[in-house]
Structure formats: C-alpha cells, structure tokens
Amino acid sequence: MKKYERKEDNITFHRELKKTRETFFSRIRNLFSASGKKKLDTDFFDHVEEILLSSDVGIKTTIKIINNLEKKVQDVKNNVVDIKYLYKLLKEEMKLLFMDIKNKCLEDKVEDEKNKPYVIIMIGVNGVGKTTTIGKLAFLLKKKGLNLIIGAADTYRAAAINQLEIWSNLVNVPLIKQHMYADPASVAYDTLQSAKSKKIDVVLIDTAGRFQNRVGLMEELSKISRVLKRVIPNAPHEVMLVLDASTGQNSFEQVRKFITFVKVTSIILTKIEGTAKGGMVLGIMDQFKIPIKYVGIGEKIRDLKKFDGEKFIDSFFPE
C-alpha cells in the first residue's frame, strides 16, 4: 500500500466557516472587546449563554460550558477578571469537549485491520448529501493509496443508483449494483464478496435513509449487517452517519433516532460552509461522544476534509 500524506487534507476552517465566524465570533469578539477587567455578574454569563444557544450549541452543552466557566472563576476576588484571561478560559473550555473523544485516522484504522476488506456503511436521511459524500470519500481514500469498491444498496431510488454510478466513474472505483427495488442486503453481500475475491482494501456501502419508514430501515440495516458478517465476522467495521450542518438542532434529533437502532461509529458533516450556526458541532460531540471524521465544504470532488476539533475552535478565537 502506498504511503499517504495527510497535511493537505486537514482543514483550516478560516475560509470555510466564514458565515459562522461572522455571526458567532463577532458576538464573542464584541463581548470581549474591551481591555482590562470584566465584572462577572449574572448579565455577563447570561450573554454568553445566549450566544451559545443562538449558535445551536444546544441547551445541555451550553449549561455545561457556563457551569464549568463559573467554577473556574468562582474564587476570583471581587468577581473581576482580566478580559484576555476570560477569553482564553472560554476557548479552552470549548476545546475540552473534544479531548476525551478518540478520533483515529480512518486510513490508520484500515491499515490496522487484519481481516480486510474494511467495510463502511454510510447512513443518513435523504437530502444530506450522502451519495455525493461517498464519491468524495472514495476519491480521498483512493488518493491515499487504498483500493476501493462501492455498493449501491439504496435500491429505493433510481436517482441514488445513477448518481453513485456517475461518482464511481469519476473517481474510477468499481460499483456493484442491481436493479431498482432489489434487496439491499443482497447488494451488500455481492459487493463484499467481490471485494474479498479482488483483495480490496475498503468497501463503501450506500443505504437508503427515510425516517418515515424508521422500523423498516432499522430492520434493513440489521439485515445488511447480518449478511456482511457471513463473509467477515466483524463487519461492518464502520457506520458513518452523514449530517447536514445547516439543519442545526434538527441534526441532534437525527443522531438520536439513528443510534436507537444502529451503532454509529463516526459522523461526516456536509454543507458546513453554508451555515451560520456551526455550534451544533460542539453539542453533537459533547452529547453523543461520536467523533466527526470529515466535513464537506463544497460541491467539488476535493471538498471533503478531515475534521480537527482544535482548529475548529481556533477559527472562532484568533489570538
């Protein structure tokens, strides 16, 4: 396998989070704009709370940040704190939300897996950009020296199969498909059998995503997993949930629904460049402890980048 470089795929967030920075950070900046000391009264903490909530951080995570911030400054004399120190504390408190979440590089996980191919099931509701994300992920992983195959197991929509075929041709990755309304588990099985015979490194399997058929989707995903285990006992190795970052609080509900019937191992956020409420990233990481692997920052084939929690926070709190 080829040795892969990683630097070029790390996202800086400076350009991509322009909308979020213009709303969230501008308000944070105004709050800490004065030099010298700051009186830590109820109005101050209420203001911080309002900024976090309006940025879709979420109630539980916002309360956690505020409470931890209050504890760190509770012994300050006369409740007066240096502005720069307070600014730093808030920044560090947000970074702590990412510290206890293991987010091992996907290429390393593939490299370490002895029972190949490494099987990834992609899930998500319709409209989040799941099929497009599969194409971008295939391109990214192939660029790292990995060979892949894609399974078109979303057989309920002809458009999904056609779109996936366009992407597979674009990135020059084989696609296994059947006719519309074929058994998704059968497609997944055929894909894995083909991958195993050809000694493929990674299998990407697309699935249908419609909440109105939640029970059916749960049974379908369970069936796909059972069928995959007949070929490789510990498959699937990864279940990636694709979320539209612009949906804000609705993304929390999507995570809650999916984890009730499948073990989500990682998240990919799409359309992050188009949202002014990037705070949902903090809430999801804090409440569900699921690592965010990649973020989609546009429609081009190279517009899928690795997520870095510290850089994400740094983009809002420049020195």
Q: What is the DSSP string of 98-128?
A: HHTS----HHHHHHH-SSSSEEEEEE--TTS
Please list the residue range(s) of the chain that carry CATH number 3.40.50.300.
106-314
β-bridge mates for residue 267, sequence order:
241, 292
Nearest to 24 by CA among 114, 96, 90: 90
Triad 228, 232, 236: Cα angle to 5°: 55
Are the C-beta atoms of residues 117 and 144 closer than 8 Å to each other?
A: no
Rounded distance between C-alpha atoms, residue 201 and residue 204, angstroms:
10
**Homologous superfamily of 18-99:** SRP54, nucleotide-binding domain (1.20.120.140)
Please list the residue range(s) of the chain that carry CATH number 1.20.120.140.
18-99
Domain 106-314 has CATH 3.40.50.300: yes
- One digit per residue, the tens of pLDDT, for the chain of length 319 reads 444 444 444 445 556 666 666 666 677 777 776 656 767 778 888 988 998 888 888 899 999 999 998 888 887 666 677 878 888 888 899 889 888 787 888 999 999 998 899 999 999 988 899 999 999 999 999 999 999 999 999 998 888 899 999 999 999 999 999 998 999 999 999 999 999 999 999 999 999 876 645 677 778 888 999 999 999 999 999 999 999 988 888 889 899 988 888 899 999 999 887 665 678 888 999 999 999 999 988 888 999 989 888 888 887 776 6
Are the C-beta atoms of residues 192 and 92 closer than 8 Å to each other?
A: no
Decide the pairing of beta strands 238-244 and 202-206.
unpaired
Triad 304, 310, 315: Cα angle to 5°: 75
Cα-Cα end-to-end distance for the chain: 41
Q: Which two tokens stand for residue 261?
A: 């019937």
